[in-house]
């Protein structure tokens, strides 16, 4: 056992993700010491509590994590439930004069701690930890932004962009990444998981940073920001390749990012750890901004064994592109709720023909937020979907909205 005080929250997140495949025999005790009376939760007293736990679990697998909030999380890998009871008893005894530990009638206060059996409660703990991390990150960054006066601005400026780039250096980028499944239709209300898109939700990122302005308000500054974010995404995925590349994934990148040294470093790193099944998504606007650079990026991806997906297509732009000439492997068509009203129109007939030419199994209908979108896509021959409706079918209890 050892005590973790630096970046304890992020380190704990990595620790539980390492045991995700087989969490049996692991337990976590979450001591809610941040709720102690102020006179009982000094830094000195919390360190004493951490040392007591370290002594109880001295020869065991795991670690003691001292969070910035003052809470302590003890990760224990072993079969001796008696050690769990001993740890709770000793810390409760240490704070026995506090109402958090002991009720007025002398009985134990259940609010003092929570014990998680990770074999059954891994998901519950992971969700709780992510929520704690997001609140903590928002509070820290908001304080820094208020000090710099950034919270008063409403539109992205060059000065603010520089401030954001500086702040991003201290952010655990794993907390900014989201995951959304892309699935093949099997039969009514059943989908087969094909791969996950790992991406940054810009609204979520803005809330994490505590900003009060629109990150997309200036197109050119936002484009620069996305290239900065690309580098953080590549770095985070490379550092945690075993976690993110368990299953096939897709990531969004700018053409310039694909041609950067950072991308080749990313490739070298993940190739050593695990040969991933990776799809790189490129926005169609980025493609036509510089066709020569796009051609180089496309060839680079194919040489490295990755697939290319053309993103940002609507029903009009899809009719203007050719998979054969552009050389992409997959394409994303954005769902539009007005589509069904024109299902028998000449436009829809042309769209259906273009889908057949492209290859129905190479096209993904994205932003499919309703069952109507799935039914429409099926009528056009599309069999792969992405969107909130698919999310809800796969996990009705999910709390994160993509």
Q: What is the pLDDT of residue 152?
A: 47
Q: Could you tell me the residue range of the domain that residue 358 belongs to?
A: 154-394
- Indicate if 271 and 236 belong to the same structural domain: yes
Residue 218 CA to residue 226 CA, distance in Å, equals: 12
Q: Tell me if 29 is assigned to some domain.
A: yes
Q: Tell me if 47 is assigned to some domain.
A: yes
Per-residue pLDDT of the chain (402 residues; tens, 9 = 90+): 789 887 788 888 888 888 888 889 999 999 999 999 888 888 888 989 999 999 999 888 899 999 988 999 999 998 888 999 999 999 999 999 899 998 888 889 999 999 999 999 998 888 888 877 766 665 565 555 555 554 444 677 887 788 888 888 877 777 788 889 999 988 777 888 899 999 988 877 877 777 667 787 777 788 889 999 999 999 999 888 888 888 899 999 999 999 999 999 999 988 877 667 899 999 988 888 888 999 999 999 999 999 999 998 888 788 888 888 899 999 999 887 655 555 566 777 888 888 888 888 899 999 888 888 888 888 888 999 999 888 888 877 666 666
Strands (E) located in 68-207:
72-77, 113-117, 177-187, 190-200
From 87, 112, 127, give the residue that closes a domain.
Answer: 127
Q: Tell me if 399 is assigned to some domain.
A: no
The pair of three-digit structure tokens given for residue 335, joined into one six-digit string: 């769902």
- Indicate if 288 and 359 belong to the same structural domain: yes
- Indicate if 212 and 303 belong to the same structural domain: yes
Domains of the chain: total? 2
Are 46 and 80 in contact by the 8 Å Cβ rule? The answer is: no
Q: Tokens 């941040």 map to which residue?
A: 34
Q: Quote the longest CA-to-CA distance of the chain.
A: 79
- Indicate if 34 and 115 belong to the same structural domain: yes
- Indicate if 216 and 294 belong to the same structural domain: yes
Residue 383 CA to residue 187 CA, distance in Å, equals: 10
Beta bridge partners of 28: 75, 116
Q: What is the pLDDT of residue 151?
A: 46
- Write down the pTM of the prediction: 0.63
Residue 8 CA to residue 329 CA, distance in Å, equals: 42
Looking at residue 65, which CATH number applies to its domain? 3.30.70
Looking at residue 257, which CATH number applies to its domain? 3.20.20.450
From 110, 127, 144, give the residue that closes a domain.
Answer: 127
Residue 300 CA to residue 293 CA, distance in Å, equals: 10
Q: Tell me if 116 is assigned to some domain.
A: yes
């Amino acid at each position: 056992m050892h005590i973790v005080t630096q970046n304890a929250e992020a380190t704990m997140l990595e620790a539980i993700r390492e045991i995700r495949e087989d969490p049996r025999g692991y337990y976590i005790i979450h001591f809610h010491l941040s709720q102690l009376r102020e006179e009982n939760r000094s830094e000195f007293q919390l360190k004493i509590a951490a040392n007591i736990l370290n002594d109880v679990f001295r020869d065991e697998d795991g670690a003691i994590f001292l969070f910035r909030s003052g809470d302590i999380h003890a990760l224990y890998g072993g079969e001796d439930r008696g050690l769990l009871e001993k740890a709770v008893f000793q810390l409760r005894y240490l704070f026995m004069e506090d109402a958090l530990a002991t009720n007025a009638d002398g009985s134990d206060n259940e609010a003092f701690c929570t014990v998680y059996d990770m074999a059954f409660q891994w998901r519950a703990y992971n969700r709780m930890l992510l929520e704690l991390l997001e609140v903590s990150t928002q509070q820290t960054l908001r304080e820094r932004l208020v000090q710099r006066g950034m919270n008063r601005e409403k539109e992205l400026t060059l000065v603010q962009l520089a401030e954001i780039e500086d702040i991003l250096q201290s952010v655990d980028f794993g907390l900014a990444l989201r995951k959304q499944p892309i699935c093949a239709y099997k039969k009514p209300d059943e989908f087969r998981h094909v791969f996950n898109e790992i991406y940054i939700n810009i609204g979520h990122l803005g809330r994490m940073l505590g900003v009060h302005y629109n990150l997309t308000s200036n197109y050119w500054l936002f484009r620069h920001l996305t290239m900065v974010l690309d580098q953080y995404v590549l770095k985070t995925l490379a550092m945690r390749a075993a976690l993110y590349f368990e299953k096939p994934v897709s990531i969004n990148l700018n053409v310039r990012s694909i041609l950067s040294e950072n991308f080749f470093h990313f490739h070298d790193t993940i190739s050593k750890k695990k040969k991933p099944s990776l799809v790189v998504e490129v926005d169609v606007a980025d493609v036509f901004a510089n066709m020569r650079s796009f051609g180089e990026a496309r060839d680079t991806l194919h040489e490295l064994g990755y697939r290319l997906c053309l993103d940002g297509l609507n029903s009009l732009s899809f009719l203007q592109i050719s998979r054969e000439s552009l050389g992409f492997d997959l394409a994303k068509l954005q769902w539009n709720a007005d589509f069904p009203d024109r299902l028998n129109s000449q436009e829809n007939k042309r769209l259906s023909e273009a889908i057949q030419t492209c290859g129905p199994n190479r096209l993904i209908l994205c932003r499919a937020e309703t069952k109507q979108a799935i039914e429409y896509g099926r009528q056009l021959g599309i069999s792969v979907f992405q969107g909130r409706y698919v999310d809800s079918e796969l996990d009705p209890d999910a709390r994160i909205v993509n």
